[in-house]
Amino acid sequence: MAKIIVVTSGKGGVGKTTSSAAISTGLALRGHKTVVIDFDVGLRNLDLIMGCERRVVYDFVNVINKEANLKQALIKDKRTEGLYVLPASQTRDKDALTHDGVEAVLNELAEDFDYIICDSPAGIEQGAQMALYFAEEAIVVTNPEVSSVRDSDRILGILQSKSRLAEQGKQVKEHLLLTRYNPERVASAEMLSVADVEEILAIPLLGVIPESEAVLKASNQGSPVILDENSEAGQAYSDAVARLVGEDVEHRFLEMQKKGFLKRLLGGK
Amino acid sequence: MADPCFHIKGTSVTSMVLDLYRYQRDEFAETLRQKIETAPLFFTGSPLFLNLASFTGGMDKTQMQSIVSECRSAGFQLYGFRGAEEHVAQMAKDAGLVHLPTPRPRTEQAPEAPASEPTPQPAANSNPTPTKVISKPVRSGQQVYAEGADLILLAPVSEGAEVIADGNIHVYSALRGRALAGVRDNSNARIFCQKLEAELVSIAGHFILNDSFSEAVWKKPAQVFLQDDSIEIAAL
């Protein structure tokens, strides 16, 4: 039986899709058969980040409408064994996601996969609520700034009131993933610190992803940043995935680093 | 053991009571309208009974019927009465109201008195409603209301969240959202918190925003109470 995890945030542009791609890739690298679903119908991005945009023939909405079966729509990742992408449709809107349709697709995927990662659209409307409704765990992606923290707080409220588990009186397991973290800017009080965000949101910290050019580069190349093992962001995502599957890994990249010239030349460690 | 299809048990239900002192149609309608304007959401749909123990003056059948219809059209669920003299009681029964037993020993004070009366004791109910306890964070956009009771929160109240109680509010964590205590005109209600970072605090309809909090209590354990119709905040 697969574990369904939603990657959500409320606010847009904080790194949901980047994180969905990295985490699903990380899980597959660890040998867990994983599918990542793009719930952002109408604005599909995940296939770009995953570098499979040219291979999209059928999509999530086609499967829901029974115009294609799952086998036809699932795209097998060429780099990572055991990783599949279910892309969003670009020509429909979020109303195309019906409750029963999504549930049927998830049930069918659950038979085959270990992890189902749901990449939520921004906002708190139907599309985002559909992405989180069936989740057992939630990764709340937050940037260290007040508006992102406020929106994450809002989405946490929705998780605990409008998800299927909440309706059954149970609790969705919450994880905080702090992205675009820049210790230098925290030190100069331009950004909230990890401690500030943890105190406000009061949920366990899954990982802190440092602000990194490697993320932008990876997105443009269509290769999840976790595959860039030399980058701090890639390593931070690997740590986060390890914690997600229950390993106890110490947090890194939280402090300002004074790197020497040689160390920079040899790549960040 | 047989498996019964029902059980009959005793229970207590929170209700509002309207203490009627005198009745004159226009005055009653106007006072009722003003009262509801103060907090429309709290009154709409509220169960209500009529307390006629302090009623003076005469009443006829039409007047009783118009009381019932005015309360109901104002949004209350008027269901019963108590403390009436026999002939008034008969009229109330004819108007479809249930005759509630009068509580024996104590002379009950009115929780909802007209504006001219001094504010009565809050805990006139012989069966107090159990305190509402919330152990999860109250998030931005969420609202918690403890009807006829105190509210205890064991986790933070986020900015953009709202906690409301007819009684006191205790926050054993940070209070960052809005807290409204004693919303049904209970000026004795207080707000207590471990860390005061609220956007707004209110007691019995009086409120202040955080720009008027003093530095001495900000982010500190504090209590909020009403003194001479003005909100006071003191460190704990």
Q: How far away is chain B from the Cα of A150, in angstroms, using its nearest Cα? A: 7
pLDDT of residue A191: 94
User: Where in chain B do CATH 2.160.20.70 domains reside?
Assistant: 131-235
Residue A200's pLDDT band (boundaries 50, 70, 90)? very high
Instruction: For residue A155, name the pLDDT band (cuts at 50, 70, 90).
Output: very high
The confidence score (pLDDT) of residue A118 equals 97
- Is there a contact between B142 and A202 if contact means CB atoms under 8 Å apart? no
Asked if residue B107 lies in contact with residue B82, where contact means CB atoms within 8 angstroms, the answer is no
Q: Do B141 and A157 touch (CB under 8 A)?
A: yes
Min Cα–Cα distance to chain A from B203, Å: 25
Query: Which segments of chain B have a pLDDT < 50?
Result: 106-120, 122-123
**CA terminus-to-terminus distance, chain B:** 55
Test the B interface: residue of A9, A200, A201, A203 with most B CBs within 10 Å = A200
User: What pLDDT score was predicted for residue B147?
Assistant: 92
Q: Tens digit of pLDDT for each residue in A239-267?
A: 999 999 999 999 998 887 665 666 666 65
Least confident of A142-146, A148-152, B91-95, B154-158: B91-95
Of A157, A171, A202, the CB nearest to B156: A202
Strand A173-181 relative to strand A205-210, pairing = parallel
Give the contacts of A261 (CB within 8 A, at least 6 positions apart). Answer: none
- B140 to A160: CB separation less than 8 angstroms, yes or no: no
Q: pLDDT tens across A169-196, in order? A: 999 999 999 999 999 999 999 999 999 9
Report d(CA A231, CA B138) in Å as an integer: 37
Rounded CA gap, A250 and A254, in Å?
11
What's the confidence (pLDDT) of residue B2?
64
Which position has the higher pLDDT, A198 or B101?
A198
Q: How many residues are listed for chain A in this entry?
A: 269
- A157 at the B interface (CB within 8 A)? yes
Copy the structure tokens of residue B139: 């998030």
Model pLDDT for residues A205-219, shown as the tens digit of each residue: 999 999 999 999 999
A57 inside 8 A of chain B by CB: no
CATH 2.160.20.70 fits B131-235, yes or no: yes
Instruction: State the first-to-last Cα distance of chain A, in angstroms, to the nearest integer.
Output: 37
CB-based contacts of A22, cutoff 8 Å, min separation 6: A224, A225, A226, A234, A237, A241
pLDDT at B58: 80
Residue intervals of chain B classified under CATH 3.30.70.260 are 16-99
Q: Is B73 helix (H, G, I), strand (E, B) or coil?
A: helix
Distances (CA, A) of B96 to A44, B21, B80: 61, 21, 8
Take residue A198 and report the two structure tokens written for it: 């943890």
Q: Chain B 85-144, CB below 8 Å of chain A: which residues?
A: 136-142
A48 touches chain B (CB under 8 A): no
Q: Which among B142, B174, B176 has the least Cβ separation from residue A157?
A: B142
Query: Does any CB of chain B come closer than 8 Å to the CB of residue A198?
Result: no
> In angstroms, rounded to a whole number, what is the distance separating the alpha carbons of residues A149 and A10?
9
Question: What's the average model confidence in pLDDT over A28-55?
Answer: 94
3-state SS class at A198: helix
Rounded Cα gap, residues A37 and A18, in angstroms: 13
Cα separation, B192 vs B6, in Å, equals: 42
Taking the Cβ of residue B155 and every Cβ of chain A, the question of whether any pair is shorter than 8 Å is answered with yes
Indicate the fold that domain B16-99 takes in CATH.
Alpha-Beta Plaits (3.30.70)
Report yes or no: A223 at the B interface, CB cutoff 8 Å: no
Chain A residues with CB-CB distance to B154 below 8 A:
none
A55 inside 8 A of chain B by CB: no
Instruction: Classify residue A104 by burial, with Cβ atoms within 10 Å: 0-12, 13-18, 19+.
Output: middle
> Across-strand partners of A5?
A117, A137
Output the CA angle B76-B78-B80, nearest 5 degrees: 160
CB pair distance less than 8 Å for B155 and A202 = yes
Instruction: Give the amino acid at A199.
Output: E
Instruction: List Cβ neighbours of A253 (8 Å cut-off, separation of 6 or more).
Output: A181, A183, A208, A209, A210, A232, A235, A236
What is the model's pLDDT at position B103?
Answer: 67
CB proximity B161 to A under 8 Å:
yes
Q: Is A156 on the interface with B (CB under 8 A)?
A: yes
pLDDT digit string (tens) for B110-158? 444 344 444 445 445 556 678 999 999 999 999 999 999 999 999 999 9
Over range A209-235, report the average pLDDT. 95
pTM of the complete model: 0.69
* Residue A15 burial (C-beta neighbours within 10 Å; 0-12, 13-18, 19+): buried
From CA B159, how far away is CA B136, in angstroms rounded? Answer: 15
At CA B7, angle to CA B4 and CA B13, rounded to 5? 160
The reported pLDDT for the residue numbered A263 is 61
* pLDDT tens-digit map of A110-128: 999 999 999 999 999 999 9
What is the phi/psi pair of residue B2, to 5°? Answer: -75, 160
